[in-house]
A = this chain, B = another copy of it.
Amino acid sequence: MPTNRIEAFSDGVIAIIITIMVLELKVPHEPSLRGVLEQTPMYVSYGVSFLIIAIMWVNHHQMMHAAKHSDARLLWGNNNLLFWMSLVPFTTAFVGEHHTAALPAALYGGVFAMCAIGFLLLRSVLIRQHAHDPERVRYHRRIWRKNAVSFAFYASAVPLAFVSPWISYAIYLGIAASYFLPERVATGEKLAH
């Protein structure tokens, strides 16, 4: 199976994930400002999840574009990543309904931590594919380390949610914001970490 079919399928799945989340936005019970403001946590969790999935989509493309060829590891590493991403609409709705509780905030980060592991595994497949090209291996390793940092932050947000969910929310927003910070390296690479 050529990598462009994996990309097309992944594009389809990610497009659906990012869009069906809107079905979890329930119409307010009353058409008043109070009715809408009551749902603020739902809107915020929707916006943050939209942003994080959009970042993942960009990273996914950069990664797939770098793949030399498709093999069983790449294919199933990708299916594994899509599985964890597919759970985001569920955890987003859970956080939106119970934003002051610890467990939803922890699960929200737990699923993103699993997505980060999915990215790490796929990046390892790429390092393996380019084993004979030291420069590319260095490049992939650098991004692998960045992903590992993201994973560490997401994973730490899971137990911290039981101290306070707001700590976890701050971590999630911080990780998302870090993708838009200027870097010393070229703009092109900013999108690839």
Contact = CB atoms under 8 A, between A and B. Distances in A.
Contacts of A50: 83, 86
Contacts of A13: 15, 18-19
Interface in A83-140: 83, 86-87, 89-90, 93-94, 97-98, 101-104, 107
A16 to B, nearest CB: 4
Interface residues of A, number: 57
Nearest to A83: B50
A27 interface: yes
Contact of A93 (B12, B27, B72): B27
A30 to B, nearest CB: 8
Given A1-B61, A5-B61, A94-B28, A75 B191 contact: yes
Interface in A39-68: 47, 50-51, 54, 57-58, 61-62, 65
A3 interface: no
Contact of A16 (B15, B31, B33, B94): B15
Interface in A152-179: none
Contact of A103 (B7, B36, B54, B93): B36
A38 interface: no
A97 B30 CA distance: 10
A86 B19 contact: yes
Contacts of A27: 90, 93-94, 97
Interface string A69-88: 00110010001001100110
